[in-house]
Amino acid sequence: NKSTRFYPSSHNNQENRNSKMAPDTKKHSFGRRYSTNTWLTADSASSPTRSPKPRVGSTKPRAPVDEGLMAFKLSPVFLKRLNKPITAIQAYVRRFLAIRYFARNKATFQAIRAKRIKDAADAKERRRQEKAAAKLKKKHKKASTAIQKIWRGALARIAMARSKLVIPFQAIARGYIARRRLVIPKLQHKVRQIQLEKEAELLEIKEWKINERDRIYQKAASKRKKWSKSAKESESKVEETAELAHRLRTENKEMRIEGETLREETLALAKQNKELLYSTVQLQNNIKELQKASPKLEADNKKFTEVSKAFEAKLAQ
C-alpha cells in the first residue's frame, strides 16, 4: 500500500507542489506526497523563504496556522488538510500518528527485547524468549491495527479541535506501553521459577551421584572380598596341581626306566626267538631228510630182518 509510505521526490519544491495541487474533494484522495524535510517548525513557519506561496490567480485566503500544532512539526500539506471534512483526513491523520508513535518507541521495543534475551539463562530458554519476542512483535502489529481501527471510529466522532487531536491517541499509547511493561516482571518471574527448578534438578542429580558412588564403593568391596576368596581357592588349587605334577613326573621317570628295561628284555627275547626260529628251520630240514631216508631205512631193516632170520635158521641146523 503506497499510501502508507513517504518518499522524497521531485515534488519537494514548495512552489511546484502548491501550484500544481488542486482542491481535494474525493474521499481518501491525498494528492501529492510530502517529504519529511519540508516540515515546518515554530521558527520557520514565519520565514519568508519557507512559507508556502499562494497560487497564481487564487484569491482564497489560506487557513490560519494553529500555534499549538506547530510543536508537532506538521507539514503545510497536513495543516491544509486539517481544514477538510473528517472523512477526507482521518486516514491521513491515522497513518501519520501511527508512524510517529512507532518510530519514537522503536528503541523501547528493542530495549525490551534485548533485556528479555539477556535474562535467558541458556540456549533453550533463549530460544523460548525469542519465540515470546516474536509473539510480542506480532502483538505490536495487532495493537497498531487495533489502534487504527479505534481511530477510524474515534476520528469520525470527536470534534476536530486540532490542539486536542493527539490526546486520545497518546492516552491509548500510554496504556499500551504500560501493559507492555508489565510483561517484563512476568518474564523475570518466569525465568526465576525456571532457575529454581533447575537448581532443584541439579541438587537431585548431586544426591543421585553421591548415592551411586556409595553403591559402587559397596559393590567394589563385596567384589574385592569375593576375589580374595577366589584367589585363596586358586592358590590351593595351584599347590594341588604342583603336587600332582611332581608326582606325575616321578611316576613318568619310573615308567621310563621300566620301559628301558622292558625294551632290553624284548630285544633279548627277539634274539632268542630268532635263534629258536633258526633251530626250528633246521629241525624241519632234518625231519624232511629223515622222511626222505625212512623208506631206505625200512627196506634196509626189512632186508636185515630177512638176513637175521636166514642166519638164525642156519644156526639152528
pLDDT band at 86 (very low <50, low <70, confident <90, very high): low
Residues 6 and 33 sit within 8 Å (Cβ to Cβ): yes
188-to-121, 139, 200 alpha-carbon distances in Å: 11, 19, 18
What does the alpha-carbon distance between residue 170 and residue 152 come to, in Å, rounded to a whole number?
Answer: 15
Neighbours of 142 (CB within 10 A): 10
The residues spanned by each domain of the chain are 1-84
- What is the tens place of the pLDDT at every residue in 184-217? 777 788 888 888 888 888 899 989 988 888 888 8
Number of helices followed by number of strands (H, E) in the chain:
7, 0
Record the pTM: 0.23
What does the alpha-carbon distance between residue 9 and residue 20 come to, in Å, rounded to a whole number?
Answer: 14
Residue, of 61 and 182, whose pLDDT is higher: 182
Ranking 24-28, 214-218, 219-223, 290-294 by mean pLDDT, the lowest is 24-28
Residues 191 and 120 sit within 8 Å (Cβ to Cβ): yes
Ranking 21-25, 69-73, 240-244 by mean pLDDT, the lowest is 21-25
| Nearest C-alpha neighbor of 104 from the set 33, 166, 32, 50 | 166
Cα angle, residue 304 at apex, residues 300 and 310 outer, rounded to 5°: 150
Percent of the chain with pLDDT over 70: 58
Tally of CA atoms within 13 A in the half-sphere of 207 that contains its CB: 5
Report pLDDT for 249. 92
